[in-house]
Structure formats: C-alpha cells, structure tokens
Structure 1
Amino acid sequence: MALIPQSFIADLLNRVDIVDVVGQYVKLKKAGANFQGLCPFHSEKSPSFSVSPTKQFYHCFGCGAHGSAISFLMEYSGLGYVDTIEELARSAGLDVPREERTANDVARQQQTMALSEVMSAAADWYRQQLKVAPRAVEYLKGRGLTGEIAKRYALGYSPDGWQGLEAVFGTYANDEVAKTLLEGGLLIQSEQTETQQTGRRYDRFRDRVMFPIRNPKGQTIGFGGRILDQGEPKYLNSPETPLFSKGNTLYGLFEARQAIRAQEYVLVCEGYMDVVALAQLGFPNAVATLGTACTANHVRMLLRQTDRIVFSFDGDAAGQRAAQRALEACLPLMSDDKEIRFLFLPTEHDPDSYVRAYGAPAFEKVIKEAMSISGFFFKIVSQDHELATPEGRAQTHHAAKPLLLSMPPIALRTQILRELAIRTNSTAAELESFCGLSVVPAPAQSGSYSNTSQRAPSFNQGNLGNRAQGAPWQASKGSAKRVATQNMAPPQAPTDLAEQMLRVLIQFPHLGKALDANKRALALQASQLRSAKAMELMQDLLVQCDRVELIPGEQGMPATVGSGAFALFQDQLARSELAPLYEVLRKRVMGSDLDLEGAVADLEGAFKKLELTHLKTEMTEIAQKIAASNATEQDRARYRELGERLKYT
C-alpha cells in the first residue's frame, strides 16, 4: 500500500494551526500562553481542555484526550488516519504525495473512487424515487416518520423493477458499467445458461425502502433495504465490498455523533428502523449493527465517541445470544472509566414500539436501569448452573475463566472476580489460581509504574523508593579499610532522575537525539533502577527521539524541532504500545513553562548526579577489596584517582 511520507506529515502540521482546526468545533478562549475550552470528548462544565499554539498540541486534563491536529480530527470526526491527513491537506491547499505507488495501488484507488461514485449516484436516485412512490411514503408515515427525519437519514426507495438502475448508469450489457455495479453489490448476475453465456444481470434491491449506510465522512458505502409487502428477507443488506465491511460499520453513527456527545451515551439497536424511529421519537443517539454480531471494532468505534454504551436486545433466545457476543467483544476493551449496560425489552417490543406504547420517559427509565456489564457477566456464567452444588459452582468457574482472561488487569476485573468467589463459596485466591490470573500486590512505597492497570499507570510522588536502597555516602576520614568495614552498600542514584530525564525528553525530543552513547547508557541505567517499565519507556522514547526531523537553528544556534515535527512526534507516542505511560508524563508536562535553557540545565544536572553516583559506587567497590586484602596496587591507584576527582565534582 502506498505510504504518505513522514516529512510531508510534519510539513502539513507546520502549515496548519491547531488552534484554527480545533476552534472550528470548540469555543476557545485565551488562557495565558494557551487556549482553553470545554472538552468535546466528554461532558464538563469547567474547561479542562487546553490547546498549545507553540507545541501545536491539545490535552484534556479531565479525560486525558490529547494529540495533534491530526489526532483531533480523527477523534472528533471518526475519520481514519489517511483520510484525516487528506482532509487537512485539502484545507491547506496541498496535494498528498505517496511513496512506492505500485500499479496495484493505483488500480485499488481507482476502484475505490469508482465504487464511491456509483454508491453516491445510486443513493441520489433512490431518494428521488421515494418522492414519487406513494406506497413507500405511506409506509414511512405509518411508522411515524416525518420528511425531516427521512431527509436526515437520506432514505429512499428502490422501484419494483429488475433493471431500474439502468436509468442512472446505462445498459447492464455494458461490461464496464456492470462490473462496477456488481462489485458494489447493486447488481446480481445469475448463473450462466446454455442460451445466455453471461447470465442475467438485475437489481439486488427491488420494491424496498432504502437506508443508505454512510462512513464517518458521510459517504454512502452500502445500503439496507426493507421490503414493503410480504416477502423474504424482510431486510436485505449490501454484500461485503472494498468499501463496506459489516464488522467495521455501524448504521447511523455518522448521523448520531453529535447527539451521542450531547446525551453522553450511545444506544446500540438491532435494526435500521429502530435507529430512524428512535431519532424521530427523541433518541437521536442510536446506532445499529448491520445484521452481524457486535465486533471488537464496533466497540472501539463507539468508545471513541463516548464512555457509556447501552446495548438494546430482544428478550428472546436470539437476543440473549447477540448480547453474549457483545459482552465478549466488550470485555477485552473495558477500562474502569467506561460504563457498558445491557437492556432487554419484553419479547413483544422493540425500542420503537416500546417508546410508542409507554412514552419516552419510560424508555429513558429502563435505559438507566439497564443491566450492568458485571451483572450480565454473572448471569451468563451462572446460567443453567446450580450454585448450590459443587458441580454447578465448578461449571460456573469454567464458564467464567475465558471471560476473565479476556479482560485487562483493571479494578473491575478484580471486583468481578471477588464477587464471583463469594457467589460460588470460594476464595478469590482459589479462583485466581484456577483462571491462571496473578494479582500483583501494590508496593507500600514504590516509584515504579503500576502494572495492575493498563489504562492509568502513574508516577508516585514523594519517596520514590529505590529498588535497592543503600546507605547514604559518607566521606572517608582515614583508610579505605575503615570505610569498608562499615558494611557500606554501593550508593544508588535517586530514582526521580529517571522521571526528570523523561519529562525533559518528551518536551524537547531533539535533546534526546543529541545524546551520546555514554549518556544514553546512564539514562537507561537510571531508568532500570526505577523500574522495568521505566527502562522500557526510556528505550522507546530514545528511539522516538532519533526519528524526529530537525530544522536548522538561526544565526549559529543549534538545530531544533519545528511545531509540526513536534506534533508528529507526540502522535507517534500516542500510537505506541506504551501510550498509557506516555500519557502520565504528558499530564505532568502540559502547561509546563520549562524553556529550552532550563531543560538543558535539568538534563545536564541529572547526568552529573548519575556520574557522581557511579564514581562513588566504584570507590566503594575498591574500598571493599582493600578491606578484604585482595586489592592490587592498580586498584589502590585507581581509588586515589577517584578520590581526587570526587573533590572537584
């Protein structure tokens, strides 16, 4: 696949102003060197959303959202990475270059463009046909829909004919036209017969109310059709195409994004008509899966829009199975700041009919009272198992094991495990052992990153608790033997130096790029002393610093990082596997007034402390040799040399 050069992305971020980009969607006010506003990604009354024009970066101190202009558009609009870059480039009047564009890349792009044009033209035609189809209009009115809602969701009608789309695209005998329509799922080609070598080509959708399926950019990528009279299937979807994948698409998400943010939750239904009817009845924050089970990709898409998801399913066996698949998709993506619930309506009702029968307030009430994800978890794992018997409790453990293992090590998993242990007359330790889960106890005083939460790791402040806390260095007054007999352990550098260096490098990556091999080794050693996670973070951060593109300094000044390259650097950190740890550092440094001169001083100070610690460590090791009477004359000379250096350090 053709790649967009990183140099172009950095140049693009240099040309666009993040304040202008964010300001199109968020009301910003000047606040010191930065701009502030209400976060568009979570509900708040006091502004905690900060945009830095110098760093070309945004950060929300409330929900943790952060990134560059690219990240903002991706999160806010739901666009993919490449689509976002293309959108920004168009706004800046730039053409996006591509690397290594092969013939296949060009052909694939042309195919996608052709399919997109065909889908758009078909959607327009279906909308026009609805205006002259009284039966379809009466059907929609009978479902309580107004013309305004029909327009909002671009509803249409496919006439009851075999070759209606020929009015738009010309004869189906044209192989080029037919090929594109077949690839887009708008036509079906029958099997060849003895008299017809190519088979008959005819419209897939006939005499159906048409529901265009749109991507996050609002482009039509597929259709769903509801038959007007009796017939099967009642609902017919477009097949999988290069544009349309059921497992990666949610009907109504494009139309519902603003309402989801306003209502602070999304309601996931089972059908097109549920979504459209609920929008008519005052619930415009509904979406639907497309005739397939809820997938992890569906859940990821929704969690980018909101922290609260309510799944609505029929109360029958099919609805229970669909809910269980949704549970399985959600558990691996859960975090302690997310809320997922399951609403089961009476078997005689769907969301549309329930609201019409009992009113919107009643529906709001059952949404609020929907079953929590933990409640549904317990229901699923204990279903048909008799908890009063050892066998039933063992079967419950067996059913719970894969679900617990699929969850990240968050507080919710711990709480579910403890509750399940109580319900099954077990201990948490027994259940953990059966499932193969290990719970790492929190240290009393530790400066390491928490490894019990993937989402909220943190640096502890105050006493950082070195891994091996040695006695403080004491100057020797007399022989080295006397010093060594005090059982002095080698001194340890303060572990806060690791965080000090990490904080500097995340703000000034060009300083990391300029570090020589000796200083890199010192930085890694200090991080290793802090924790294995800190060591991993320092290794990754130095690699990311090396990738930063520098711009020449003015009037003999050293090279530095442009705002675009800095934003790109931060985006790369946000996409790293260590992104949660970088988020901890970013929260500490956003709004920091540390300038370059101060950063250089902080970094040099940290390295001096590390060098001093190593010097003292070596002296201690030699002193211990002298005390054990196994030091060489070379060791003694080295000890004296180090003592002299210590005087001037």
Structure 2
Amino acid sequence: MALIPQSFIADLLNRVDIIDVVGQHVKLKKAGANYQGLCPFHQEKSPSFSVSPNKQFYHCFGCGAHGSAISFLMEYSGLGYVDAIEDLARSAGLTVPREERTVQDVARQQQAMALSEVMSSAADWYRAQLKNAPRAIDYLKGRGLTGEIAKRYSLGYAPDGWQGLEAVFGPYSNDEVAKTLLEGGLLIQSEASEGNQTVRRYDRFRDRIMFPIRNPKGQVIGFGGRILDQGEPKYLNSPETPLFSKGNTLYGLFEARQAIRAQEYVLVCEGYMDVVALAQLGFPNAVATLGTACTANHVRMLLRQTDRVVFSFDGDSAGQRAAQRALEACLPLMSDDKEIRFLFLPTEHDPDSYVRAYGAPAFEKVIKEAASLSTFFFRVVSEDHDLTTPEGRAQTHHAAKPLLLSMPPIALRTQILRELAIRTNTSPAELEAFCGLTAISAAPSSQSRVQPRTEQGNFPNRMQGAPWQAGKGASKRVAQNIPPPQAPTDLAEQILRVVLQFPHLGKALDSSQRTLAIEAAEQRSSNAMSMMRDLLTQCDSVELIPSESGGTGEVGAGAFAMFQEQLAQSELAPLYEVLRKRVMESDLDLAGASADLEGAFKKLQTNQLKKEMTEITKKLSDSSATEQDRARYRELGEKLKFS
C-alpha cells in the first residue's frame, strides 16, 4: 500500500485551520480563546462543542467527541483516514503524494477507479429501467414505498434478460469489458468444458429490484437484488470485490447518517427492504448487515455515528444466533458511555410488518423496552443451564468466561460480574479468579475504596478506578488490602498530559527523566506505562523549526496526530480519553507546560532520593549498613536539602 509521507501530513495540518474545516458544517461563535457551537455528533440545545484554534483540536463536553481536522472529517463524513486527508488536501489546493508507489499500487488504484465508474454506470442504468417496469413499480407500491423513498435510496430494476448491461458497456465478448464487469460482480462466467469450449457470460442480476450499496462517501460499491416473485435466493448480493466487503459494509449507513444523529440511536435490521420500508414509515435511522453476521468492524462503524445501538432480530433460533454473534462483536468495543440493546420481534413479524400492524408508536415502545446488553448477556450464558445445581452454575461460568475476558476493564464489566456472581451464588472474587480477570477490584474497603477526584480534576493519592487501575500490581494491592505507593500519584498523569500537548518537550527529556516517567506510570498501571513508553518514543519524530511567519512549526506533527488517532482506537482508549479531555479543558501554554514538567520531575527525583534513603535506613536499623552505605546516606541528605 502506498504511504502518504508524514512531512506532507504535517504541512497539511499546518496549512489548514480547523475553524474553517469545522465551520463548514457547524455554526461557530467566539467564546474566549476558543469557538463554540452545537455538537454535530449528538442532539443538544446548549452548545458544548468547543474548537481550539491554538491547539487545532475540537472537543465536545457532552458526548466526548474530539480530534483534529482529519478526525473531524472522519467522524462527520464517515471517511477513512486516507480519504479524510485527501479531502482536506483538495480543500487546501494540494495534491496528496505517495511514498514507494509500486507498479502494483498504481494498478490497484486504476482498478478501483475503473470498478467505481462501472458500478456508478450500472446503478444509473438500473434506476432508469425501473421507470419502464410496471411490475417492479407495482411491487414497490405494494410494499408501501413512495417515489421519494425510491429516489433517496436510488432503487432500480434489473430486467429479466441475460445480457442487459451490454446496453451500457458493450458486448461481453470484449474481454476487457467483461474483465471489469466480472471483477465488479456484475457478470457471471460459465466454465468451458471439454466438449464445449465456448465461455458464456451473463448478468448476475436478472428480474430483481436493485438496492445500490454505498460506501461512506456515497459511491456505489455493490448491489443487493430482491426477486419479485417466488424463488430462491430471495435476496442476491454482490460477491466480495476489491470495492465491496460484506464484513465492512452496512446497507443504508450513508443515507441514514443525519437521521442517526437526529434520533440519537441507530436501528440495525437484517435486510434491505427493512431499511427502506422503515424509512418510509418514519424510521430513517435504520441500517442492515448484508447477509452476514455482525462483525467488530460493523460495530465500530456504528459507534462512530452514535452512542446508542439497537439490534433488531427475528425471535426464531436463527435470530437468536445472529444476536449472539452481534453480542460477541460488541463486547470488546464497549465503554461505559455506550448503550447496546437487543430487540426480538414475534416470529411472524419483521420491523416493516410490525409497524404496519401496530403503528409507529408501538414500534417506538418496543425499541425503548428492548433488552439491554447485560440482560441479553445473562440470557446467553445461562441458557439451558439449571442455576439451582452446582453443574448448571459451573456451566454458566464456563459460558461467561470468554465473553467477560473479551470486554475491556470498564465499570459495566464489573457490574455484570457482580450480578452474575449473585445469580450463581458465588462471590465476585471467586468468579474473577475463575475468569482470570485482574482489572476488577474486590469489594471496596476503607483502604481500597475508589476516591473522588479533587476540584482541580487530579486524582488523589489512593485512586483505584479506571482507567489507571488496569495493571496486575494495582489489582494485587487491592486484593491484599495494601495501600498504593506514597509517591505523588498524579505526576504520571501530569507528564502524560504535558507531553500529549507539547510533544517536543517529551523529545527533550534525557534518559534518566524518561526512566523516572516510565517508573511513575508503572506505579499507576500497565496501561499507563505502555502509553508513557509509546508516547515518549513517538515524541522523537517531532521537532520545532522556525516558520516563515516568525513562529515555529512542528515537523512530524502529522505522524503524532496519527499516533493519537491510533490511541483512540486501541485498548488504551479509556486512558487516552481522560487525558485528552484534560488537555482540552486546560489553557496551559508552553511556558506553563515546561514549568509543570520541571516540577513533576523534581518531585520524582526527590521521591527517588527519599526511597533510597529509606532503604539505607533499614540497613542502619539492623546494623547491616556498610561504610559506603553511610557515605551514600549523607550524600543523599545533602541533595535533599537543595531539591
């Protein structure tokens, strides 16, 4: 894959102004040093969406959305990272260069462009055929669809012929034409046999209502076709192609994005017709998986659009299996500010027929009453298990273990584990030990109870909660009722916040300071230590250089921005979210950041001196200290006087 040079990304971020980028989609007003507006990612009446021209970042204090100009385009328009950079570059009048463009890279790009043009032309032709197909029009009208909805979803019709697309692309005997159509999944080619060397090429979609499938940019990448009369398969999808992957695509997401934000939830159905019919009936925030199980990529796409997802399934066994696969896809991506629900309709109904039978208010009611993720979790793990017997409870624990292990260490996991322990007559500690979980604390005691934050937003010395409490050491201290180390426990956070905001300060740290920073983070958690180590390594790619305006610019800022995007999608995301919010809330300038960093290391160095003196004091008390130890003790005492 051709790479975008990091120097270009840095130059692009220095050239564009996030105020201009966000201002094209959000009405912004000056508010002190920043700008404010109504968040485009959730419904609100009072503005909580802040954009900082100095930091070139946005942050919503309502829903937590945040990022750079690149991530704004990704989140608002649903673009991928490269596509967002390309759009931003076009707006700045720049052409995106590529590093190491091989012959294969060029060929793949040309193939994708050719396929995209073919799919678009085919969609236009199918749409034109619908106008002259009374039987297809009558079918859509019989399903209650209007011309407006058909236009919104670009519905079409594939005539009942074998070479219909020849009218658009020319004879299928042309190998070059046939090759592109075959790659796009629009044609099927029969195999030649010994007795017949003739290769037959014919349309994949015939006598079907056509549902174009779009990517986040609105480009047609595939089709779904529904048969008009009886027959199998009822629905026919495009095969996997260089443009189209079922596990990475949701039907209707492009059309539903604005409605999802307005309704503040997305409804996930099982078929094309469900989506289109629900839009006709007042539920335009519906999408569908494409004849495949819900994947983690599907869930990730949905959670980028909204914090609330409702899966709708048939109540039969197939629907239950599909729901369980969706649950398994959701658990690793859960966070405490997300809500996942599971709606099971009566076996005789799909969403479309239910709304027609009982009305939109009744459907809204069952959506609100849909089973929560935890409710469905308990149903799945205890199904067919008798909880009144030891065997049944053990089987339930066995079923729950992989699901609990797949979840990040969030409050919801703690609550599910405690509830499951109650239902199976087990203590949380026993269940935790069985599952091999280390990030869930035991019942709080006077020394392990989670402490509140101070008014300044820092964590007090005995803080035990997420996201810091993620390491084995922290869990062990809680389980054994051992107080955490007495070092100032907010110093690791302070260093992380400063270095996230001013990466060139992190680059300037010497090896001894880096060791102190990593050790301080390790006292908090393994996640904090991982972030500190990765962050300091990433800082090495950033340096300050004079700019033409007389100020300074950061070379490597693009790579650093990409690194932050990766943090937001990684297992370190909960910790990163806390730190990023603190950075956005802070008005810290470079001078203040330098002073904070200097103060933090001074405290860490002082604490290190005290720790070493304590160790020597133990030797002095049991008369095992050497003369060298005594000399070192005096030396440390002198250093402490001037620390």
1:484: which partner in 2? none
Q: Does 1:521 align with 2:515?
A: yes
Q: Is the 8 A contact 1:409 1:454 kept in 2?
A: no
Counting aligned pairs with the same residue, the percent is 82
Q: Is the 8 A contact 2:125 2:168 kept in 1?
A: yes
1: distance between equivalents of 2:434 and 2:522? 33
2: distance between equivalents of 1:629 and 1:418? 50
SS in 1 for 2:310: strand
Q: Does 1:586 align with 2:587?
A: no
2:457: which partner in 1? none
2:30: which partner in 1? 30
1: distance between equivalents of 2:563 and 2:324? 40
1:399: which partner in 2? 399
1: distance between equivalents of 2:315 and 2:519? 58
Q: Could you say if the C-alpha distance between residues 602 and 379 of structure 1 is closer, same or farther in structure 2, counting changes exceeding 3 Å?
A: closer
2:498: which partner in 1? 504
1: distance between equivalents of 2:421 and 2:516? 47
Q: Is the 8 A contact 1:2 1:100 kept in 2?
A: yes
1:440: which partner in 2? 441
Alignment coverage as a number of residue pairs: 620
| 1:150-179 CA distance string (max 9 Å, x none) | 110000111111101000000000001101
Give 1:263 deviation, angstroms.
Answer: 0.6
1: distance between equivalents of 2:91 and 2:275? 33
AA at the equivalent of 2:266: V
Q: Is the 8 A contact 1:60 1:66 kept in 2?
A: yes
1:383: which partner in 2? 383
2:57: which partner in 1? 57
Give 1:319 deviation, angstroms.
Answer: 1.8
Q: Does 1:311 align with 2:305?
A: no
1: distance between equivalents of 2:188 and 2:495? 63
2:299: which partner in 1? 299
2:285: which partner in 1? 285
AA at the equivalent of 1:121: S
| 1:529-586 CA distance string (max 9 Å, x none) | 5555443332222112112243227899987679867755644553555332222222
Among 535, 558, 576, which residue is 1:541 paired with?
535
2: distance between equivalents of 1:553 and 1:608? 33
| 1:600-626 CA distance string (max 9 Å, x none) | 222223333444445555666667767
The one of the two structures with greater contact order (alpha-carbon pairs below 8 A, sep at least 6) is 1
Q: Is the 8 A contact 1:55 1:563 kept in 2?
A: no
2: distance between equivalents of 1:69 and 1:237? 36
Q: Is the 8 A contact 1:268 1:286 kept in 2?
A: yes
AA at the equivalent of 2:501: Q
- RMSD over aligned Cα atoms: 3.0
Q: Could you say if the C-alpha distance between residues 372 and 159 of structure 1 is closer, same or farther in structure 2, counting changes exceeding 3 Å?
A: same
1:111-510 to 2 correspondences below 5 Å:
111-194=111-194, 196-438=196-438, 439-441=440-442, 443-444=448-449, 447=461, 467-469=484-486, 494-510=488-504
Give 1:308 deviation, angstroms.
Answer: 1.2
SS in 1 for 2:305: coil
SS in 2 for 1:13: helix
2: distance between equivalents of 1:397 and 1:204? 48
AA at the equivalent of 1:602: D
Q: Is the 8 A contact 1:58 1:68 kept in 2?
A: yes
AA at the equivalent of 2:338: K
Structure 2 unaligned residues grouped into runs of 5+: 452-459, 475-481
2:13: which partner in 1? 13
1: distance between equivalents of 2:297 and 2:469? 19
2: distance between equivalents of 1:643 and 1:275? 74
| 1:43-85 CA distance string (max 9 Å, x none) | 3332221111111111122222211011111111111111111
Q: Could you say if the C-alpha distance between residues 91 and 622 of structure 1 is closer, same or farther in structure 2, counting changes exceeding 3 Å?
A: same
The structure with the largest alpha-carbon Rg is 1
Q: Is the 8 A contact 2:522 2:528 kept in 1?
A: yes
| 1:442-497 CA distance string (max 9 Å, x none) | 6346647757559999xx9xxxx98444xxxxxxxxxxxxxxxxxxxxxxx53433
Q: Could you say if the C-alpha distance between residues 596 and 154 of structure 1 is closer, same or farther in structure 2, counting changes exceeding 3 Å?
A: same
1: distance between equivalents of 2:358 and 2:194? 59
Structure 1 unaligned residues grouped into runs of 5+: 470-492
1:602: which partner in 2? 596
Q: Could you say if the C-alpha distance between residues 430 and 151 of structure 1 is closer, same or farther in structure 2, counting changes exceeding 3 Å?
A: same
AA at the equivalent of 1:69: A
AA at the equivalent of 1:221: I
2: distance between equivalents of 1:375 and 1:128? 48
TM-score, normalized by length of structure 1? 0.88
1: distance between equivalents of 2:548 and 2:215? 46
Q: Is the 8 A contact 2:539 2:560 kept in 1?
A: no
2: distance between equivalents of 1:151 and 1:334? 36
| 1:245-279 CA distance string (max 9 Å, x none) | 11111110110011011111111111111110110
1:68: which partner in 2? 68
1: distance between equivalents of 2:324 and 2:615? 62
2:477: which partner in 1? none
AA at the equivalent of 2:441: V
SS in 2 for 1:551: strand
Q: Is the 8 A contact 2:7 2:558 kept in 1?
A: no
Q: Is the 8 A contact 2:259 2:285 kept in 1?
A: yes
AA at the equivalent of 1:3: L
AA at the equivalent of 1:151: K
Pick which of 306-315 and 276-285 moved more.
Answer: 306-315
SS in 1 for 2:545: coil
SS in 1 for 2:544: coil
Q: Could you say if the C-alpha distance between residues 62 and 190 of structure 1 is closer, same or farther in structure 2, counting changes exceeding 3 Å?
A: same
2: distance between equivalents of 1:190 and 1:277? 36
SS in 2 for 1:550: strand
1:616-631 to 2 correspondences below 5 Å:
none
AA at the equivalent of 2:356: R
